[in-house]
Amino acid sequence: MRKPRLTPVEIDWSDPQHPQVGPSGRLDLARLCATAQQRMSQGLDLPRRWSQQPQHTLMLVGLGLGHALVAAWQLWRADLRRPQRLQVLIMAPRPLTAEDWRRAHPPAWGDLLAQSWPPVTPGWHRLALDGGGLTVTVAMAPLTEQMSEWQAGVDSFVVDDHDECPEGLWPALARMANPGARLVGEPNRLTGCERHGFEPLTGDIGARVFTPRHQPRPPIGRRAVAPGARSAIVLGAGLAGAACARALHQQGLRVLVMDAAPHLAAGASGNPGGLFHGTVHADDGPHARWNRCAALHLRHTLASAVLSWRLDGLMRWAPDEPWQRLQSLIDTLGLPTDYVQALDAHAVHAATGLPLPGAAWFYPGGGALPPAELVAHHLRDLDVRLNSPVDTLATTETGWAVAHHGAEKARADLLVLATGAALPQLLARWDPALARLLTPQRGQLSWLDPQQAALAVRPRQPVAAGGYALPLPDGRLLLGATSHDHDPEPGCRPEDHEANAAHWRRLCGAPPGLNPTQGRVAWRLLAPDRLPIVGGVVDPDQAPPIRASQPSAWARRPGLLVCGALASRGITSSSLAGELAAALALGLPAPVERSLIDAVDPARYVARAWRHRQAEVSKP
């Protein structure tokens, strides 16, 4: 079990001698930002260096009180020749809270950042600001835990941590440094960097400005799948495809979305409503960390989404767990109350109106929404072709072409496969082993019409435990959902309605004579480990790598990406999966740590199979 690892920055606002607190009781932002901007202009040679780039990536080692982030934002905003996109990556072992931003900074900056700032929760967090022109990725973890976890190429570094920098930091930064990168910081913070990949620049500023000595190449499986791509085809107009298309469009690509159906979100993404939330596991392993990162990323995405309805807050009943155990786990993992809370039976009843005995997890940032509207939000202003089936994929001199019945339909530099349950058919030729591992799963949900629902016990908010009960704004009560692997039956089955009703009665204490007769069937796709599949497709024509047990060591087919197997968490996972897919395609900083990239990498299965074979061979 992991221990609490995050210590938010602390400021003694009552101390008039505090060097960073002015007479007004606020951070002396002007002075600190001026100092940070001077360091960036004189040491990093900004904005001159970034005016030559379409995108610039700046890493801050230590967040401090946020002045370096604000200074970089101000410098970028004021520059008429600025790059279209500025990526700021932050190692934040002592993160700020939203309230810290409001208290420490004037409203023009403090309120703006506070509105977007994530809960102080372990892991990577990504924010899109200034219309997406400024992207901020914050890693909330001790430096020793995050140094080797960044997947990014960096143009400029500012070392501003208040503690002594661990020696392992410098090799980690050198690994990320792009050609011509610069590193600045206080001299006493830079001890050791010359021994580990950096050398001083000549001239007056050389004593405090360093540049990388070498340019290490990333593992072959972590190199951009489609570097320099200008166009992309995304197959699939559901949640996964729409999120990929939006992320690629925001990077300036010309994106075409194709789907065989006559309307958007025709598969599982077309359900009348769906749930989203994170999870809590005692080991805080890949599933919990991915779901947490995805839920918080979606929460930020939804701040700019216009939907006809959204229910905030989700209750996940845990009848077999005492409240004290839930709270103890939250405390041990260091999770904040704005991410998850443990409620006893009295609090659960007060929140839901249901007579649920026992404790529950409550996710304030979770809830429910209409998934088809989220798809439409992502695909606004994009080129979408419906009634456009594809049965053939082919490589071209510069990318990929798609065809149907022998007739070519489109071609582009990058091809993304995000067709939901239909993914194995398209993937079969290009990675047959992976295609065989994926399982289409039939899911049937049921609902009571408004007249029936008026006779039922309706929860005040979404409630889940095995099944779920979701009150829709139109008066219906949505109940779900069944799960049957490799089941092609398209019509609703009475026995599945009854299975959903049984979950509902367990959750809501519903009368036994009231049964749903309406519903919907769709298919979701599952990977064996129930994690998504996001990344480049393994190239079987390449020889097995020396480090074949590592997913990042396997070569990929140029220009081909897969994003799918979101299982029953399509709403929660899709926005983060789309962002990660775009990063892996174009070689951008990843929104999650390297261990999570490995966890969702399509190559994880071939790497595991290799490890298994080696273990068998080594047996006496």
Q: What is the pLDDT of residue 140?
A: 95
Q: What is the pLDDT of residue 26?
A: 53
Q: Delimit the CATH 3.30.9.10 region(s) of the chain.
A: 440-526
Nearest to 359 by CA among 313, 319, 315: 319
Q: Are 109 and 579 in contact (CB under 8 A)?
A: no
Strand partners, 341: 362
Homologous superfamily of domain range 440-526: D-Amino Acid Oxidase, subunit A, domain 2 (3.30.9.10)
Convert the pLDDT of each residue in 197-222 to its tens digit: 888 886 545 447 888 888 788 899 99
Nearest to 290 by CA among 99, 531, 560: 531
Convert the pLDDT of each residue in 309-329 to its tens digit: 999 999 999 988 899 999 999
Homologous superfamily of domain range 228-267+374-438+537-618: FAD/NAD(P)-binding domain (3.50.50.60)
* Topology of the domain covering 29-218: Rossmann fold (3.40.50)
Q: What is the pLDDT of residue 6?
A: 65
Q: List the beta strands (DSSP E) in 131-227.
A: 134-140, 154-159, 177-185, 198-200, 209-212
Q: What is the pLDDT of residue 141?
A: 93
Q: What is the pLDDT of residue 4?
A: 42
Q: Write out residues in the chain with pLDDT < 70, as ranges.
A: 1-29, 161-163, 202-207
Strand partners, 560: 415
> Which region holds residue 16: left if phi is over 0, alpha if psi is between -120 and 50, else beta?
alpha
CA distance 551 to 101: 39
Measured over the CA atoms of residue 239, residue 241, residue 244 and residue 247, the dihedral's sign is: negative
Q: Are 578 and 246 in contact (CB under 8 A)?
A: yes
Convert the pLDDT of each residue in 342-378 to its tens digit: 999 999 999 988 888 889 999 999 999 999 999 999 9
Q: Delimit the CATH 3.40.50.150 region(s) of the chain.
A: 29-218
Give me the long-range contacts of 335-342 (CB less than 8 A, separation at least 24): 335/121, 335/122, 335/280, 336/119, 336/120, 336/121, 337/364, 338/119, 338/364, 338/365, 339/119, 339/121, 339/278, 339/292, 339/296, 339/363, 339/364, 339/365, 340/278, 340/280, 340/364
The enclosing H or E element of 104 equals: helix 98-104
Q: What is the pLDDT of residue 206?
A: 46
Q: What is the pLDDT of residue 270?
A: 95
Report the predicted TM-score, pTM, of the whole model to 2 decimal places.
0.94
Q: Delimit the CATH 3.50.50.60 region(s) of the chain.
A: 228-267+374-438+537-618
Q: What is the pLDDT of residue 276?
A: 97
| Secondary structure (3-state) at 463 | strand
